[in-house]
Structure 1
Amino acid sequence: MGSRGGALGAAGAVGLCLGWADRVTFTRLHSISSLLLCAWPCFAGGVFFLDFLHLIRSINDPEHPLTLEELNVVEQVRVKVNDAESTVSVEFTPTIPHCSMATLIGLSVKVKLIRSLPERFKVDVHITPGTHASEHAVNKQLADKERVAAALENNHLLEVVNQCLSGRP
């Protein structure tokens, strides 16, 4: 797991707000609230609208040589962040209603966010309503902390998740 905590300087925060997100990771971010002083245009109504998609856009699809963003599995409009409540919610849309990799995709998104965000954030990853035949079962697995922890103790499954997170070869 990546390190957490630390401070992000004003230049880094401005970089994130201006779209230079690929230069800065959230592993150095202690509190998103600290960004608001210099990144105020990205904040409205208690919800922080920073481009969190940059954290998950490069995750590889387990079956295709494309990223989740390229397949429109993840989109910025389906990423919700509430700094005040320390929550991040991501809806993802499998490419087909019977996608057998939906749980693996959701697990990869969840692991990437857990590794990247400060510990104070509760991460919720779920299927976009009405887009998968087993939506309820997949969402139940992804919401169950014990199931997620058990899945990540499986070396083979962890290796597959890490391949999805590794970027293109």
Structure 2
Amino acid sequence: MTTLINQNPIIYEASAGNSTREWREEDENEDAADPIDAQEVFDLIRSISDPEHPLSLEQLNVTQRDHIQVSDENNTILVEFTPTIPHCSMATLIGLCIRVRLLRCLPSRFKVDISVRKGTHQSEHAVNKQLNDKERVAAALENSHLLEVVNQCLATATSGGVVANIVKGPNPAN
């Protein structure tokens, strides 16, 4: 039997709806540079399942729209996430899942940086270094077991199965 690191996480209410983007036929033109905004990036990552719980990163308040910065002019995206506990051993895996989702969904012109929010994890510097090192990410994705776990997390999140407190509104710790 596996012991959960965070046995009773706080569950936050997910926002209603999915993507705010209106897809049109001209979006199929890959030569055109589609503008990307923080809401669209959030829509891509909000439903990623937590590796430990059958809940989405949005439901656990790991990812928030306000913690995403997009510079369409400079083709850069910064995504900061907040692990549910300061010693979360799944932080690197969560960041890897976010990176893989964005690599698979965004145009290749974007440079994506993924990081743990400052002060939210005991090993934030080491986790951030791993998540933004192309060689380490490539090596991690060559591991078939790890890639299988990432793919499972990228499947649509389910709700339920965990007893926790549901909190409406912003994270009380912020």
- Same fold, TM exceeding 0.5? yes
Q: Any runs of at least 4 consecutive aligned residues in structure 1 with deviations exceeding 3 A, and if so which?
A: 19-24, 27-30, 48-51
User: Quick one: distance in 2 between partners of 1:56 and 1:150?
Assistant: 22
Q: After TM superposition, give the deviation of residue 168 of structure 1 in Å.
A: 3.2
Match among 31, 34, 54 for residue 32 of structure 1: 34
Q: After TM superposition, give the deviation of residue 131 of structure 1 in Å.
A: 0.2
TM-score, structure 1 normalization: 0.74
Give the number of aligned pairs. Answer: 137
Show the counterpart of 2:40: 51
Conservation of the 8 A alpha-carbon contact between 1:29 and 1:118: no
Q: After TM superposition, give the deviation of residue 100 of structure 1 in Å.
A: 0.5
SS of equivalent residue, structure 2 residue 89: coil
Q: After TM superposition, give the deviation of residue 65 of structure 1 in Å.
A: 1.3
Residues 124-145 of structure 1 show CA distances to partners (whole Å, capped at 9, x for unaligned) of 1000000000100000000100
Conservation of the 8 A alpha-carbon contact between 2:60 and 2:84: yes
Output the aligned Cα RMSD.
2.3
5+ residue gaps, structure 2: 1-17, 159-174
Match among 58, 63, 66 for residue 74 of structure 1: 63
- How high is the sequence identity, in percent, across the aligned residues? 59
1:68–1:49: structure 2 CA closer, same or farther, 3 Å change rule?
closer
Bigger RCO (CA 8 Å, 6+ sep): 2
5+ residue gaps, structure 1: 1-18, 36-47
Show the counterpart of 1:135: 124
SS of equivalent residue, structure 2 residue 63: coil
- Matched letter for residue 153 of structure 2: C
SS of equivalent residue, structure 2 residue 122: coil
SS of equivalent residue, structure 1 residue 62: coil
Show the counterpart of 2:13: none
- Matched letter for residue 41 of structure 2: F
TM-score, structure 2 normalization: 0.72
- Larger helix fraction of residues: 1
Q: After TM superposition, give the deviation of residue 119 of structure 1 in Å.
A: 0.4
User: Quick one: distance in 2 between partners of 1:54 and 1:29?
Assistant: 21
Q: After TM superposition, give the deviation of residue 167 of structure 1 in Å.
A: 1.3
Q: After TM superposition, give the deviation of residue 32 of structure 1 in Å.
A: 2.3
Match among 78, 82, 107 for residue 93 of structure 1: 82
Conservation of the 8 A alpha-carbon contact between 2:51 and 2:90: yes
Match among 150, 153, 156 for residue 139 of structure 2: 150
Conservation of the 8 A alpha-carbon contact between 1:73 and 1:92: yes
Q: After TM superposition, give the deviation of residue 81 of structure 1 in Å.
A: 0.6
1:53–1:28: structure 2 CA closer, same or farther, 3 Å change rule?
farther
Show the counterpart of 2:168: none
